[in-house]
Amino acid sequence: MLLLAGMALAFPDVDPALEVPLVAEGVKINATSRGTWSQGKGLRLQSPVSYGDNYWTAEENPIQDGLVRARLRPGDRLEVSVLFRMAYNPANIEEFSGYGLTVMADRIFFHRWDEGLSLPMQEPTMAAGLKYHNALEVVVFLTGGQLAAFVFDADSLQQLASTTIHDSRYAAGQVGVYHHKRGGEPTVIEHLAVMPREPIQLFGDPEAPFGPKRLLTIKAEDVGKLPSAITPVESNEVQAMVVTDTLGAERIFHEGIKPIAVTGHVPWRYRDLEYASHRGKPPVATDSGFVIDASYKDPEMLEALLRGYNERFPQLTHLEELGRTHLGRPILALKISDNASAKEDEPALMINGAHHGSELLSVEYVLDAVQQLLEGYEEDPWARKMVDELEIWCVPQVNPDGGWLFTDVTSWAGRKNGRDTNKNGIVDPWDGVDLNRNYPYRWGTIGERGSRSWHLHYQYRGEGPASEPEVQAMMALASREHFAASISFHTMATLILSPYTIDGATNPAPDAAWQVAQKMAAAAPKQTNGKKYRVRRKIYSVDGTDQDWFFHAHGTLAYIVEGTHHNPEDPWTRKESIKNIRPVWKTLLDVVSEGPRISGHTVDSAGRPVSAQVTVEEVRTFEGEIWTSRPRDGRFDRVMAGPGKYVVGASLSGFKDTFVTVDLANEPKEIELLMVADGY
């Protein structure tokens, strides 16, 4: 080992004369960065950005082939990436592409960034106790598409971990450091240098696969050559599809198999063989209804099942197309009531799923409600009571384009919808709008913390409030029906989020929504992940959510219910999750049905319904809420925090204000608010 004064050397046999330092004592160079970094005694993240990524890359001495060396002094949390071959979009420095060697407390692995989207390229190499070393030496060798990394103890020179990967997407670019945003003392980069060498070739393959998994299409005649542990997930007389990791792909290449195609985009259909076996088949009928728990559903399977229920239970269901997506798919709602084709004078509720299309389990939660209510109607007194007294709207998949992208195109996509946001004419993982950041209430008002203006980000809020057809469809339904309560199912935090969830909004006092949410949480047993449901305002800062808009616009007790898992492939876990979350939505239906609830109508002197603002003097609101009665029949439904004496008022331009005092018990109370025109 050679030593040079002023440079922190440790890697065996490094030649400092060939190194170009980027971070070292006495070295100051220009850099592209996010977050506040200091370059005193090493490179240190002083203050992270409030949203997004923290990184520092040298604008000088980019590298194609050669060696990158970094010396790290672990902070409270060791979680950094040594970046190389990085390039930026000058119009948006968050839109960067290239590679990184990620070093965490007990593992290392290569990352790849494509236009800001980051995914690991391989399974981690475990290396227990990295964070406990005084200092680490990280060395990355770049030779064409072959990348190799080694991590040493900087003092003893003991090798602690190594990993390799092959990728030919990016040929050259800047070198730097990515610091993952965590609390505590940051990791310090004491030394960063490059040792360039003459590249063996010029390259840059835009089709190089992304992520740690590989989907290979091979000739049918090559199936017999596959390594013993690798079998096709789908095959016919011409070709076969094989899913494996990057190492498995290399083993296949070494067997002399030349794939027809290789991609890193592995859709759900090739990951979940149970789903694949039911894909494209009609729903299976039973004596009482249909089998719904055999597998997850894609949009076509879901539509067939909803149409099946509508045909099987014509009196109890009404199937409605709320709108169409960017890719032309129907957004379907199934109304369940004792006279579903009629617009009855009853409280309305909504249960929806899959605002994020990749959350397949959320669809199953809604379908369970459909099955319990319809198939239990004849034998279960509870189901009959709910169906007879309420109008229950079920929208299992708000985002069918996202569902299709996830099941059929790539499991890296599907959270967002099918809008071609980069306008390249194809559907890819960067496209789409996050529908649950696109609702109008305070859309984009907390800046880049609550949603993102950058169209490639997975929380992209859209070009404007309610810009997306799916959101427009849901808003139109809510404005027509004035739901008393709603649940929007998501995965996977095991939480009930009670409105308002946005930062800074003040909830009504008393807060009936929170009290009802506590009842919902208490009703659920311990879940399959070992957790009990809890009520929270938020998981993290967001804006533009459905629940906040439903609550602000119509007074709907609107909840986001986060499920227990994200698409578990194990059938038992999936079924238990569905069963154990059932008391959550059942409790909400119970509260709306049984009270305490004040309901009624606003009518003119001729008995005709009018849509008026309805207030309760004992409930203070702070966000300019104007909650009105339903236009078609003047109906309003207000679930209250508890029994008591309430003064209910109604106001409408051209009419005199009217008030009624209500003595409310733990049950529904129906009243009529007569609106008398001015001048009478």
pLDDT tops 60 at residue 12: no
Nearest CA-CA partner of 271 in 253, 291, 296: 296
Lowest pLDDT segment from 83-92, 351-360, 593-602: 83-92
- Predicted confidence at residue 183, as pLDDT, reads 64
- Domain range 294-594, its CATH number among 1.20.1090.10, 1.10.10.1100, 3.40.920.10, 3.40.630.10: 3.40.630.10
Residue-level pLDDT at 454: 93
Q: Does residue 398 carry a pLDDT above 90?
A: yes
Q: For 496-525, what is the mean pLDDT? A: 98
Mean pLDDT of 294-315: 99
* CATH number belonging to domain 597-675: 2.60.40.1120
Percentages helix, strand, coil for the chain (3-state, rounded to 5) are 20, 35, 45
Average pLDDT over residues 167-187: 89
Smallest Cα–Cα separation from 56: which of 184, 175, 183, 185?
A: 175
CA 66 to CA 69: how far, in whole Å?
10
Would the pLDDT of 313 be above 70? yes
The SS3 call for residue 545 is: coil
In this predicted structure, the answer to whether residue 8 has a pLDDT above a threshold of 60 is no
Using CA atoms, how far apart are residues 437 and 441, in angstroms rounded to an integer?
A: 10
| Helices 360-375 & 381-389 angle (0-180, nearest 10) | 100
How does residue 7 score in pLDDT terms, banded at 50, 70 and 90?
A: very low
How far is 602 from 625, CA to CA, in rounded Å?
Answer: 18
Identify the band that residue 5 occupies on the pLDDT scale cut at 50, 70 and 90: very low
Q: What values do phi and psi take at 254, rounded to 5?
A: -70, -20
**DSSP string for residues in 566-611:** SS-SSHHHHHHHHHHHHHHHHHHHHHHHHSSEEEEEEEETTS-B--
Per-residue model confidence (pLDDT) at position 489: 99
ω into residue 170 within 30 of 0, thus cis? no
Q: Rounded distance, CA 21 to CA 3, Å?
A: 14
For residue 352, the SS3 value is strand
Strands 557-563 and 213-219, by their bridges, are unpaired
Interval 428-462: pLDDT, tens = 888 999 999 999 999 999 999 999 999 999 999 99
**Residue among 369, 55, 395 nearest 192 (CA):** 55
Instruction: Report the 10 Å Cβ neighbour count for 60.
Output: 12
Q: Which has the minimum average pLDDT: 261-265, 298-302, 388-392, 666-670?
A: 261-265
Task: From residue 384, give the alpha-carbon distance in Å to each of 189, 375, 524, 637.
Answer: 66, 10, 22, 21
> Span 348-364, mean pLDDT?
99
Mean pLDDT of 112-123: 91
The DSSP call for residue 353 is: E
Each residue of 143-156: pLDDT tens digit? Answer: 999 999 999 999 99
Q: Contact at 8 Å (CB) between 544 and 442?
A: yes
Query: Residue 579 corresponds to which amino acid?
Result: K
pLDDT of residue 378: 97
pLDDT of res. 426: 87
CATH code of the domain made up of 16-197? 2.60.120.560
H/E run at residue 162: strand 159-166
